[in-house]
Chains A and B, each alone.
Chain A
Amino acid sequence: MTEQILSSENVRLATRAAGRDDAIRAAGRILVDAGAVRPAYVDSMLEREGSVSTYMGNLLAIPHGTNEGKDAILRSALSFVRYDEPVDWGGEPVRFVVGIAGLENEHLEILSSIAMIFSDEDAVQALVDAASAEQIFELLSEVNDS
């Protein structure tokens, strides 16, 4: 189940983003391409970011839609992008952008695992140091399994 929500092709590496909104669009596009959300959801992600930042701390941001934007979600999915250069997220440095589309509470399990990883600074460092998208996906999955 968790594999379906975060699949390996939704984990990407990127060098840099032009800015926060650009990074949100990139995270949203992966969800659209995966068939998880309609394009309108990306707009609601941008709208949501405008009201409250989704910067979570420890180099992580988790852009997602508004309550109203839930209508544009087709199935629960996550996208995961690591940037080589920090993205300026309202003044905070972000290296990891996790796009979230959640229906009911299907995605909470994997989101919890991600939260656990990112609350551990050593684990964050391992993700920063990971050589490939595959390695990142493995690091994320390992925590899932345990």
Chain B
Amino acid sequence: MTTTSAGSKKPGGARVAVQRFGSFLSNMILPNIAAFIAWGIVTMFFIPAGFTPNESLAELVGPMITYLLPLLIANQGGRLIYDTRGGVVATIATMGVIVGTDIPMFLGAMIMGPLAAWLMKQVDRIWEGKIKAGFEMLVNNFSAGILGFILAIAGFFAFGPVVQALSNALEAAVDWLVALSLLPLLSILVEPGKVLFLNNAINHGVFTPIGTQQASETGKSILFLVEANPGPGLGILLAFTFFGIGMARATAPAAIIIQFFGGIHEIYFPYVLMKPLLIVAAIAGGMTGVATNVVFNSGLRAPAAPGSIIAVLAQTASDSFVGVILSVILSAAVSFFVAAIILRASRKRDLAKEGAGDLSAAIAQTEANKGKESGVLHDLQAGGVAGGAGLVGEGEEAAFERKPIHTIIFACDAGMGSSAMGATVLRNKIKKAGIDSVDVTNKAIANLTDDVDLVVTHQDLTDRAKRQSPNALHVSVDNFMNSPKYDEIVFLLQSEGVR
């Protein structure tokens, strides 16, 4: 009976996968939002179209977006996979991607960063425990350096052509849609491309050439507004201002100024990446804007760069003010409306989720973890596995409130005895349950980091372990050989749909 209800109530694999992917992306971007804001402010003030143009200080703009932001993202992505070591290799490798292309390589950083760290982890596994004592530093530094070097070269050659191919494909698609007069459908391509930081490639690589040609014939082009319309971004940021949580909500108003008046659309992309479903809001807003301009036959005389409302109005053709202004307002309204629905619907879950942003959310999360440990796990213990059928639902909910369990660490004082035995016993039980995506290892408590999902310790050491890994779920045992907690952990994994 237990098994049948567990089977019918398991969370959908695809849903869990999307959830994990989205939270991974946002975990990569979110810690770096401050850098985006700093860059946005610099840009807003010092570029020629800024509030206080300053040629010398404007030189900050290029290196910050070309190097600083992608490297920060790569480093964070690397760390998520493989600690500081992963972060370093990720950063080196992404440098190759950046230098090999001529647009800001956020997408490249988001792919290469985690990939490089993962490769480092695999390479380290090859000689794990086989290095002669005293040579660890030498081997570790050289292996990371050499792998970083190789990946930087690979990134240099691989990413340029990929980005070029993407641009070419987009250009072909745009030509085709223009020919068929299906312009609003452009947004289906453009908005996702934008939030993956391909906005410059799209605008300057695709729309500017075609639009300029149109403008030379008719005096204006609608294409200049497809990407540059600040409306959709404004709507999304407004939705965050009212319905967001944590740091996202607190930073959204400042982001609006940078985006809408400064014309720095990049500032809102992380907010969308944080919650990938919001791309629907961006597309709906973008389509609304394009459709409005089609109806009013309005357009710009020349590209509006950056896509600030000021630059847009400055370039608006004299017969197009009504249409252009309406297109901005309507697209903002539509994307706000859609984004608000999405944010409202997931608000409760986000509040409980780790990475919601600010300190208070992190504290709430830690408390929630504690509550869950004493709640879910202890209830499971009390009820026993057989009586746990009714708790499957709770386990299912927990899977969405907390990041899914991939790594379990047994920790003890020296990391050579009890934790190793406990890890073996649990690993065996998990294998027998048919789960092979979970890593069970052991460590000394002093070496615990906060990137693990579940920590098992002897009950006398749990407090120490919690200080080392405040964000992990903690389980205390009093007996490493045959603790009933092991069955509960297996059951928890099963109820979360971990395989």
B417, A67: Cβ atoms closer than 8 Å: no
A54, B417: Cβ atoms closer than 8 Å: yes
Select A103's contact among B133, B420, B425, beta carbons within 8 Å: B133
Select A67's contact among B413, B461, B480, B483, beta carbons within 8 Å: B413
Count of B interface residues, CB-CB < 8 Å: 26
Against A, the Cβ 8 Å flags (1 = close, 0 = not) of B23-54 are 00000000000000000000000000000000
CB contacts between A and B, total, < 8 Å: 80
Against A, the Cβ 8 Å flags (1 = close, 0 = not) of B405-421 are 00000001111111011
A119, B414: Cβ atoms closer than 8 Å: no
Count of A interface residues, CB-CB < 8 Å: 32
Interface residues of B in 424-438 (CB under 8 A from A): 424-425, 428
Q: Which residues of A contact B345 (CB under 8 A)?
A: none
For the complex, give the distance between the alpha carbons of A14 and B182 in Å: 89
For the complex, give the distance between the alpha carbons of A51 and B129 in Å: 28
For the complex, give the distance between the alpha carbons of A119 and B432 in Å: 14
Against B, the Cβ 8 Å flags (1 = close, 0 = not) of A63-91 are 11111011000000000000000000000
B414, B425, B479: residue with the most chain A Cβ atoms closer than 10 Å: B414
B417, A69: Cβ atoms closer than 8 Å: no
Contact A57-B417, Cβ < 8 Å, known A112-B424, A115-B424, A115-B425? no
Interface class of chain B by DSSP: loop
A111, B420: Cβ atoms closer than 8 Å: yes
Is B175's CB within 8 Å of the partner chain A?
no
B417, A100: Cβ atoms closer than 8 Å: yes
For the complex, give the distance between the alpha carbons of A108 and B421 in Å: 8
Closest Cβ neighbor of B428 among chain A residues: A116
Is B444's CB within 8 Å of the partner chain A?
yes
Complex A-B: 13 CB contacts under 8 Å: A52-B458, A52-B460, A54-B417, A54-B418, A56-B421, A56-B481, A58-B481, A60-B481, A65-B414, A67-B446, A114-B421, A115-B422, A115-B424
Chain B contacts to A: CB under 8 angstroms:
128-129, 133, 412-418, 420-422, 424-425, 428, 444, 446, 458, 460-461, 479-483
